[in-house]
Chain A
Amino acid sequence: GQQVMQIPQYQHVQEGEDFTTYCNSSTTLSNIQWYKQRPGGHPVFLIQLVKSGEVKKQKRLTFQFGEAKKNSSLHITATQTTDVGTYFCAGPVTGGGNKLTFGTGTQLKVEL
């Protein structure tokens, strides 16, 4: 079945360092969404990418969708303690109608 893997699984950084998480799908995705889940909270939608090679920015966050639409990345510049949480990518299940498959997630910890 379709698999969506994320690396790394965990990342500890010092405040001010950059952070990147990578999302890789076993199948081509029509679109990809990114979510952030704070500790003890629920996933919150960040952004959606649709076009091959698309790049979107939200302040210190940069999202990319690969040319082959099978991978994506989220880069955070100069991390802050408020960036702490788990970041998930999610994509539509191939032939699965309105189901989203979530990636395995990357847990980010930021130390002062």
Chain B
Amino acid sequence: NAGVTQTPKFRILKIGQSMTLQCTQDMNHNYMYWYRQDPGMGLKLIYYSVGAGITDKGEVPNGYNVSRSTTEDFPLRLELAAPSQTSVYFCASLATIMSPLHFGNGTRLTVT
């Protein structure tokens, strides 16, 4: 099993550009999450989804959008990138709230 796969691994954006961070999981997990981690800091929840067609905001949703058209995919969209969005983005999934989170390898994004 591949688990949680994120692409790209690295990306540099100019201010104002847009991009989509891809996340896919092959474990048939209903719950999927997007976190961002600033250097030396903890993880902050951006958006999450409890199943296809259902998404909700986390702690820091401003500047981002998500969609969940299938169980497997949970892309994160950045519109009008800003330097404050420079971070490492992790996608994660889990089976139930009592289960462990499975993380992807992350996308390191720099906005200049």
- Using CB atoms and an 8 Å cutoff, list the residues of chain A in contact with chain B: 31, 33, 35, 41-45, 48, 50, 88, 90, 92, 97-105, 107
Contacts and interface: CB of A to CB of B under 8 A. Distances in A.
17 contacts: A41-B105, A42-B104, A42-B105, A43-B43, A43-B101, A44-B103, A48-B98, A88-B43, A92-B97, A97-B50, A97-B97, A98-B48, A98-B50, A100-B33, A100-B97, A102-B35, A104-B41
B45 A45 contact: no
Interface residues of B, number: 24
Given A97-B97, A98-B97, 10 more contacts: A35-B101, A42-B104, A42-B106, A45-B100, A88-B43, A98-B31, A98-B96, A99-B45, A102-B35, A102-B44
B53 interface: no
Given A43-B90, A97-B50, A104 B100 contact: no
Contacts of B40: 107
A9 to B, nearest CB: 9
A43 B103 contact: yes
Contacts of A35: 101
Query: When A and B form their complex, which 9 residue pairs have the shortest distance between CB atoms, in order from nearest?
Result: A45-B100, A42-B103, A102-B43, A98-B97, A105-B42, A104-B42, A102-B42, A98-B31, A43-B103
Contact of A99 (B42, B58, B90): B58
Interface string B70-108: 000000000000000000001000101110111111100
Contacts of A42: 90, 103-106
A105 B97 CA distance: 21
* Of listed A43, A48, A50, residue having the most chain B CB within 10 A: A43
Interface in B17-45: 31, 33, 35, 40-45
A16 to B, nearest CB: 26
Nearest to B100: A45
